[in-house]
Structure 1
Amino acid sequence: MSSNDELTVPQDDLAAAWQRTLPERLHGGDKAEIMADEADPSTLRVHIKTAGHQMLEFDFAVQYVDSREIDIQLTDVEKDGQTVDERTDIMQDLIADYRRHLHETAQALHHYTHS
């Protein structure tokens, strides 16, 4: 038995599974778009648009470290198309909330990613 616990799910299939699963975990009205990272087969690009008048958009890179563990990097936050300072308490709370939803999604897909 191999000690490698590498992700073996095709990236496009994984992106589709995330596209089905993540929106169920977001707040009502928030929208998510998941794309395969063309440069890295173990990474997904996640774009989340918040509901309501905030007009906030968050971009994350979700990389599978192995078949179960993910590493999440925030790559951009925009409001109305302009980059915003993500260091404010309000933004940090939102980012933490979305990171939790991303971890929940990865957990929900364990059956799929961990063979």
Structure 2
Amino acid sequence: MSSNDELTVPQRELAEAWRRTLPERLRAGDQAEISEDEKHPDTLLVSIQSAGRSDLEFDFTVKYVDSREIDIQLTDVERDGRSVDERTDVMQELIEDYRRHLHECAQALHHFTHA
């Protein structure tokens, strides 16, 4: 199924735009690293380090379904480099919070991705 609303922005430029925009959407002190997924040109790898949350790091893949819509998958949650159970209520709240921030970032970049 082909869509005429495909993402046409080069992945490197998309990652740069996310690096500029996502920190504005996160809580003060949270940090994010964004890199290109070399296997998938429509996907970014996002790692968010929580401020003041005992060294928690959340890893997501952000895949562009089209030029506006993204699909977010949580790939890992770590504390001090070790995987932790993300099924607790506190973790689920943090994950949903970060998912919302990722959607907000994608929305803020609509002008850039929807040429």
Task: Judge same fold: TM > 0.5, yes or no.
Answer: yes
Give the CA RMSD over aligned residues. Answer: 1.1
Question: Where does structure 1 lack aligned partners over 5 or more consecutive residues?
Answer: none
- Amino acid of the residue matched to residue 84 of structure 1? V
- Which residue is equivalent to 1:73? 73
- Amino acid of the residue matched to residue 69 of structure 2? E
CA distance in 1, matches of 2:94, 2:10: 30
CA distance in 1, matches of 2:53, 2:100: 23
4+ residue segments displaced more than 2 Å: none
- Which residue is equivalent to 2:54? 54
- Which residue is equivalent to 2:30? 30
- Which residue is equivalent to 2:102? 102
> TM-score normalised to the size of structure 1?
0.96
- Amino acid of the residue matched to residue 94 of structure 1? L
% same residue: 74
> How many residues are aligned here?
114
> TM-score normalised to the size of structure 2?
0.96
Question: Where does structure 2 lack aligned partners over 5 or more consecutive residues?
Answer: none
